[in-house]
Structure 1
């Protein structure tokens, strides 16, 4: 159950020839994200379990799930942008049905991340699922 925005990213990554180009695209996705105001770079929004500094600010209702995110690492910021494309606009109940790690495997990203980045991705997905459960 992937959103149209996520499918657009998947198609672009599939079109790119090598992983260096794909990583560049992921970084560009992160650069294109709106910045998270510094006032949200606080422990309440920090995601534990990431090697990089990561913050996710929930912006959700019972009807729609959304969040803002930021990281001090550009590749992680790109992963946040992809997670945003995967989840934004779904209901909290729909968020809980998404297998993000399977989607990242399908587009080849999970298998091409370092162990630390994979752990961070799992931590971000865990935080998103926790937020969705609380809102559902």
Structure 2
């Protein structure tokens, strides 16, 4: 079980690196001046590669978490309210990941998007979700 936990943590940390950095690239994309085609294309290429890579990292992270939850019974039984809250955060993170993909497609199609300030705030969401998930897993407040 410790190997599964260790790998789960490694893949989660790697997935989060993408969740932290992709929206930061979106900030830069939102700030590209009109006519800066090369800069825009370079940022789009980086975004596409990162999104693909972070998706590949999310799959084993989620599979290993499912294995820990169902295979070893972590978070099952009485006093497991923390796990229900953590699973809600996982669903929110999956939705955030999906929405990043939608935003990337909109950038690629040149659709009008929000400004860089909105993306700066959007970039903070995974930090808050990670903080909540770690507190839930370590402290198990309920």
- Per the TM superposition, whether the score is higher than 0.5 is no
Choose 1 or 2 for highest CA Rg: 2
Q: Which has the higher strand share?
A: 1
TM-score by length of 2: 0.30
Higher relative contact order (CA 8 A, sep 6+): 2
